[in-house]
Amino acid sequence: MTSVVVVGAGIAGITAALHAEANGCAVTLVTKAALGESATTHAQGGIAAVTDPADRFADHVHDTVAAGAAVGDLSAIRALVGDAPARIDELVSAGVAFDRNADGSYVQGLEAAHSFPRILHAGGDATGREIERALVERLRASGVRILEHAYLVELVTSPDRVTGVELLVAGSPALLPADAVVLATGGAGQLYAHTTNPSVATGDGIAAALRAGAAAADLEFVQFHPTVLAAGTPFLVSEAVRGEGAVLLDEHGHRFAFDAHPDGELAPRDVVARAVARTMAQQDGRPVLLDATGIGAGDTSAFLARRFPTIDAAVRARGLDWAREPIPVTPAAHYLMGGVRTDLAGRTTLPGMYAVGECARTGVHGANRLASNSLLEGAVFGARCGDAIAADAASHTWPAVVPQAATAPVAPLDDAAPFTRAALQELMWADAGLVRDAAGLAHAASTIAAWRAQPRAPRTVHEHEDENLLQLAAAVVAAASTRRSSLGAHFRRDEAAFGTHPEHDATAPIRREPLPSTADQRSSARILQETR
């Protein structure tokens, strides 16, 4: 029987584990926190899928391509959109209670850069929590072995493949051999001083994969969410709030989003986030305002409490009444579009190792993720991965995708201050955040190189996380330094110095050279034409 270790317990990891087990594999699911604590649990907005007869698959594909600055992998995007209805049905069978209308049809919301209201949600704004609840129940009822509070230290490799994982379990080292390892460890929001991500998002899987020699791609594309509550502990205010009609205002009451894009508050996230940042800079760093006082038919307070119960509780816990007055918001790091390079079944450049979810780079997000495609990606490619492992094992080939070139090293600074996680987060926010330039990236690269050169011997989970964050920060900065022109979530203020063009119009096609081993990468103009 094929033995599989899945590292991560969000929608991608649990789906992969359940599918692998259903295909006859002996599966162990490892999570570094308690089961149920994942980025999936915190997802508010919903999950995008074509479920309405009036909607079209081609439109969801086109919206995904356009939001991603037209550099996504079209074959991956078509797989994402085409598999979506089956994955929604599977989630419903697992017990996910999506919100429904009186006639039993799904309540569908509209979010930025979508041409149709196709966002399914549960509990108003508790979609991720409901999906995680149902999947955890299904997981506990399955034959999958569950190992909680087990931290991934390293991938174990032989000369030609991955053969297991090295863990810290309750502070003690443990070795778990496997025929196949699936990384579903999420993103790396903790790279930044301001983030919507939970504390577990420290890039562990990506860093371990890089150390083992796996190829990564698109690490320069870090998405910053435009609307995070700027009062008390950062709290995400879902894009669905703007989808329901909330607007962004500067401190003088000007609705500034339309100055940046004709779609205003419903432009792609990268455009809106930068518009918020520019406006904050013009008002000495003070937050902008999200005005939801005019949404809902009649009683705004009742509507907000019903449609967004989680956000409503968080806002009111901070002493704010968003039904009567606008609330302060600011951008924060939210999602990593890049990651470990994979094919459409989660295979990586290392035989026997797979990656799914936010830690993977499937190509579906291009340079900027379309709202509510993240949960969908986890469900679709988690299922594809779980189904593929058994077939790969039976073929005795353990196929892998073609690798890409490694990044050149950077010389360290001689006078770098001692490393702390907070110092790294502030450095990344300042030099590799929403707006970047050569000087800032060079400073970040040399500082990180100096920190990595300082002697350390990690023992605790927190210390291992620090090493992973440092390694991933170096990779993000290197990728951002290499890309000299602005594209999607990667914005260079100095691109004119390199003879490139200013920030692209997010509605216009952008040409990008095909990535190695991506058979269906097309020029953006052709992609947009094909998907209309």
Query: Where in the sequence numbering do the catalytic residues fall?
Result: 269
Alpha carbon 207 to chain centroid distance?
Answer: 16
- Cα separation, 199 vs 217, in Å, equals 24
Task: Measure Cα distances from 224 to 137, 154, 336 in Å.
Answer: 32, 29, 9
Could you tell me which of 321, 352, 305, 2 has the C-alpha nearest to residue 165? 352
Q: In what order do the strands lie in the sheet with 26-30?
A: 145-147, 26-30, 3-7, 180-183, 353-355
Tokens 């926190």: give the residue.
Answer: 33
**Cβ neighbours, 10 Å, residue 420:** 11
Report strand pairing: 150-157 vs 162-169. Answer: antiparallel
Could you tell me which of 250, 512, 239, 217 has the C-alpha nearest to residue 337? 217
List, as one string, the DSSP characters of 219-269. TT-EEEEEEEE-SSS-EE--HHHHHTT-EEE-TTS--THHHH-TTGGGS-H
List, as one string, the DSSP characters of 288-326. EEEE-TT-SSS-HHHHHHHH-HHHHHHHHHTT--TTTS-
Amino acid code (one letter) for 330? T
Report strand pairing: 180-183 vs 172-177. Answer: unpaired
- Residue 134's contacts (CB-CB under 8 Å, 6 or more residues apart) are 91, 94, 95, 96, 97
Tokens 């990891």: give the residue.
Answer: 13
Q: How many residues does the chain have?
A: 532
- Cα separation, 205 vs 192, in Å, equals 18
- Residue 47's contacts (CB-CB under 8 Å, 6 or more residues apart) are 88, 91, 119, 120, 121, 127, 131, 372, 375, 376, 379
- Cα separation, 305 vs 299, in Å, equals 10
